Amino acid sequence: MNAANQSNTGMEKKKQTQASQHERPERQEELSSKKTAFLNYWDKHFNSIKFNNPDASFAERAALIWEIWNDLPEHERQAYGDGTPQ
Q: Is residue 53 domain-shared with residue 25, that is, in the same domain?
A: no
More confident residue, 15 or 44: 44
Q: Is residue 76 domain-shared with residue 45, that is, in the same domain?
A: yes
* pLDDT score for 62: 95
Return the HEC string of the chain: CCHHHHHHHHHHHHHHHHHHHHCHHHHHHHHHCCCCHHHHHHHHHHHHHHHHCCCCCHHHHHHHHHHHHHHCCHHHHHCCCCCCCC
What is the number of domains present in the chain? 2
Q: Is residue 57 domain-shared with residue 73, that is, in the same domain?
A: yes
Q: Is residue 57 domain-shared with residue 83, that is, in the same domain?
A: yes
Q: Is residue 66 domain-shared with residue 39, that is, in the same domain?
A: yes
Give per-residue pLDDT as tens, 37-81: 999 999 999 999 999 999 999 999 999 999 999 999 999 999 998
Q: Which domain holds residue 15?
A: 1-33
Q: Is residue 12 domain-shared with residue 54, that is, in the same domain?
A: no
